[in-house]
Each structure stands twice: as C-alpha cells, then as structure tokens.
C-alpha cells in the first residue's frame, strides 16, 4: 500500500495508533505473516501498545525497511470487528464465490482484497457473538489479532466502517456457528467443540489477571527462560515445531488454569503462530490448534491458582480430607516435575554446548591468526637480514672505487 492510498482508509482506522508492520517468513514449510514493530523490526505483540504506531509511521517503515506491509491491531477498546474470507476469489479473473459475495453484500462495509489476492477483509463495527469464531475459510475476530491492510478496496464497497451488528449475528449463526457446536458458546471457547470443552482435564481455574501481568509471571518463573524462548518463536531443542507448539501450550495451560479461550488468544500472540494453527486436521472438524490445546490441557496435572491464600485450619482440613487422593497423585506429580526438570536441564546443556562450540571455534580462529602472524614475522626478519647483507656489499663496493680504496690497493701492490 502506497502512502498516496492512505486516504482511502476509513477514518476509524487512520485515527487510531494501532498499526504494525508484517513480513512473510516460512514456518513449517508454509509462508506466515509475522507482525513486526515499526522502527525496531522486532516481533510485535497484538496486546502490547508499545509495539504499535500510527499508520503513517508504519507505512514509512514498510517502504524503507525490511517489511512486506502494514496491519491494523484489534483491541477491546475499539468497536471494530474483522471478517476474514479466504480462498474465495480468483486472482486472475476477480470472480468471487457465492458465499463470500453474500457475506460482503450483507455486511456492506469497508472491504479490501487480501495480500494474496485470493480473499477479502471486511471491517465493520459491532460485537462478536459468543461461540466459534472460525469455520472453513471464514474467520471473525475483534481483539488480540491484527489484519493485514492493503488499501486495495473492492470498488463497490463503502469507504467507511459501518455498524452492522444484526448482519454480523446473522452471518455468524448461518456460516460459522451451527447446531452441533452450540455448546461451544456455553463453554466460552471460540473454536473448541463442546466435547472438548467439557473434558475432565479442563480445570478453568479463574485466573483473574490481565494478559500482560500473566505473561510477566510466566517470564519470571523458574522456567521463564524456556517460556520466553518459545514465546518469541524459537524451536531450539525440539525436533519439530509441533513439539515446540505443544510445549508452549502446556505452559499456557498451567498459567491460564486450563482456560481454552485464553490459551488460544495468547498463543496467537506468540512467535510460534503459523497458518497451520487454523488448518482443519481432524475428521471431527477440529483444527490443529484446537487439538493442540486440548492435548496440552489433558497432559497438565497442575494449574496456577492465584487464590491460594487460606487460613491454616482450612488448609489442614482440606489436606486431611484429600490425603489419600494426594498420595495416589504424588507419583504422577513427581513424574511431571522430573520430566519438566529434565527438559530444563536439557535446554541448559544445549545452551552450554552451543556456547562451548562457539568458544572452540573462536580459539581455532585465534590460533590460525597467530600462526599467520608468526609466518609473516619470520618473512619480515628474513627480508631484513637480506637487506642488511645487500647494503653491506654495496658499501664495500663503493669504498673500493674511492680515492682511499685506490690508495690502499697501490700500497699493497707496491709492497
């Protein structure tokens, strides 16, 4: 999008400093749009306003630095909802499939062609209904996400972000939510089936902390270094990114108390997010991300509980009542602790081995440089000796041709 096309953007977007840049990077063999902070080029967070800028600043960075485009961040503080329609447009002919055309006409709001030119982004004002937020190639979101913005508008679409609450609810019910997934609304998890949400392993402890505060606690924990590496998208120490995804989800399961919705929201802010997260991989219609979250919760035996303040009598009573169950669970908890500790030690060993390897390479480089300097010094010394010998011979030759040299020869010959 050029700076000249900024004027086509609705005022509701331009007036908000909720802009980031993005660049396309390969993740698991597929291109993924990674949000970056204009100015620093570091990973941008869809929940950290410190990484957002004005649209003008974002465009300036995208045009002069390592970025492929700009994007708008959705937050709880704005009324904007994004409708993402994928794989519904022929980039050569511009033909639109019937479902996408129906949604675009009914929403009747600012609509633009996606960067791939195979889909559309529609922006409206409203409140996203509870329940699923994605089905097939249709996705709806209103917070903790960013929309790529191209400025390549659909000609017949309005130039404003219109309020379309009734149309949004109707489209959500018709195309995204269905009778089989109504239970998901009650579970409070957008994208997880009722069966998954009601699993016995889901604790849903009420962790009444803002995302920013929760992430800070995770970073400051004993395994905070591991969390930070995964959060930033590092897969070091894991055989595949899928294993890294699971590792981060297990940590998120602990810190969120097994809250499906929050785990999904937080994972989408991490550097591990890739398009595969929303791909349907299972016969029941579950996406890769949904199953990963489900399995992470099932494999987590303990959850963070901020409400641990209780008097000693209550604690003693509860401990007495649950002593038998606790003794049965102890081996499992010990095993989980040992597994996690082993992972931490393995990560530490890998880091130390990498550091040692770097130092060995540095020593080898220094030794090679030292040897080169020794050879150069030896060559200089030999050259200096040859020059001194040459100078001595030249002096002797010049002296023999002088008056004194001829006089000495005369005296020798006369004797």
Residue-wise pLDDT for 58-112, tens only, equals 999 998 877 999 999 999 999 999 999 999 999 999 999 999 999 999 999 999 9
Residues 220, 101, single domain; the answer is no
If you average pLDDT over every residue of the chain, what do you get? Answer: 79
> Is position 271 within any domain?
yes
> Is position 59 within any domain?
yes
Residues 130, 263, single domain; the answer is no
Residue-wise pLDDT for 206-241, tens only, equals 566 788 889 999 999 989 999 999 999 998 888 788
Residues 350, 276, single domain; the answer is no
3-class SS of residue 74: strand
Rg, C-alpha atoms of the chain: 34
Highest mean pLDDT among 155-169, 178-192, 283-297, 320-334: 155-169
- Return the higher-pLDDT residue of 330 and 268: 268
> Is position 169 within any domain?
yes
Residues 158, 225, single domain; the answer is no
Residues 124, 212, single domain; the answer is no
Residues 216, 135, single domain; the answer is no
Residues 9, 105, single domain; the answer is yes
Residue 37: burial class (beta carbons within 10 Å; 0-12, 13-18, 19+): buried
Residues 260, 350, single domain; the answer is no
Q: Which residues pair with 121 in a beta bridge?
A: 84, 112
Task: Output the pTM of the full model.
Answer: 0.52
Last residue of a domain, which of 177, 209, 224?
Answer: 177
Longest dimension (CA), the chain: 134
Last residue of a domain, which of 153, 177, 201?
Answer: 177
Q: Which domain holds residue 218?
A: 191-309
The tally of domains found in the chain comes to: 3
Residues 139, 275, single domain; the answer is no
Residues 357, 265, single domain; the answer is no
Residues 107, 238, single domain; the answer is no
Cα-based angle 182, 257, 327 (whole degrees, multiple of 5): 120
> Is position 279 within any domain?
yes
Give the pLDDT score at 302: 82
Q: What percent of the chain has pLDDT over 90?
A: 40
> Is position 334 within any domain?
no
Residues 208, 165, single domain; the answer is no
């Amino acid at each position: 999008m050029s700076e000249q096309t900024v004027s086509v953007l609705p005022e509701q977007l331009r007036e908000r400093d909720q802009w980031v840049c993005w660049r396309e990077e390969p993740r698991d063999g597929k291109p993924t749009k990674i949000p970056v902070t204009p100015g620093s080029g570091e990973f941008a967070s869809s929940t950290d306003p410190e990484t957002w800028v004005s649209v003008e600043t974002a465009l300036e960075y995208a045009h002069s630095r390592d970025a492929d485009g700009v994007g708008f961040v959705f937050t709880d503080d704005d009324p904007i909802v994004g409708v993402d329609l994928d794989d519904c447009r022929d980039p050569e002919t511009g033909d639109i499939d019937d479902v996408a055309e129906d949604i675009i006409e009914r929403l009747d709001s600012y609509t633009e062609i996606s960067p791939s030119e195979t889909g559309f982004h529609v922006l409206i004002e409203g409140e996203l209904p509870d329940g699923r937020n994605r089905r097939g190639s249709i996705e709806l979101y209103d917070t903790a996400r960013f929309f790529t913005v191209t400025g390549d508008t659909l000609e017949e679409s309005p130039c404003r972000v219109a309020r379309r609450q009734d149309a949004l609810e109707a489209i959500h019910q018709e195309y995204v939510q269905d009778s089989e997934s109504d239970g998901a609304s009650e579970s409070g998890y957008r994208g997880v089936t009722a069966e998954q949400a009601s699993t016995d392993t889901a604790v849903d402890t009420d962790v009444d902390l803002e995302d920013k505060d929760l992430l800070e606690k995770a970073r400051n924990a004993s395994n905070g270094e591991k969390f930070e590496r995964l959060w930033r998208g590092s897969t070091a120490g894991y055989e595949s990114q899928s294993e890294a995804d699971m590792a981060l989800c297990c940590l998120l399961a602990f810190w969120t108390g097994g809250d499906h919705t929050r785990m999904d929201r937080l994972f989408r802010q991490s550097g591990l997010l890739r398009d595969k997260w929303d791909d349907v991989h299972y016969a029941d219609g579950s996406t890769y991300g949904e199953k990963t979250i489900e399995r992470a919760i099932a494999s987590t035996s303990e959850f963070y509980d901020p409400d641990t303040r209780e008097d000693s009598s209550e604690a003693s009573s509860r401990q007495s009542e649950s002593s038998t169950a606790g003794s049965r669970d102890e081996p499992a908890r010990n095993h989980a602790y040992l597994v996690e500790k082993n992972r931490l030690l393995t990560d530490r060993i890998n880091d130390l081995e990498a550091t040692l390897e770097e130092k060995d390479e540095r020593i080898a480089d220094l030794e090679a440089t030292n040897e080169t300097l020794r050879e150069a010094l030896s060559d200089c010394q030999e050259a200096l000796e040859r020059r001194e010998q040459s100078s001595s011979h030249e002096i002797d030759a010049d002296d023999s041709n002088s008056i004194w040299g001829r006089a000495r020869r005369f005296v020798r010959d006369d004797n």
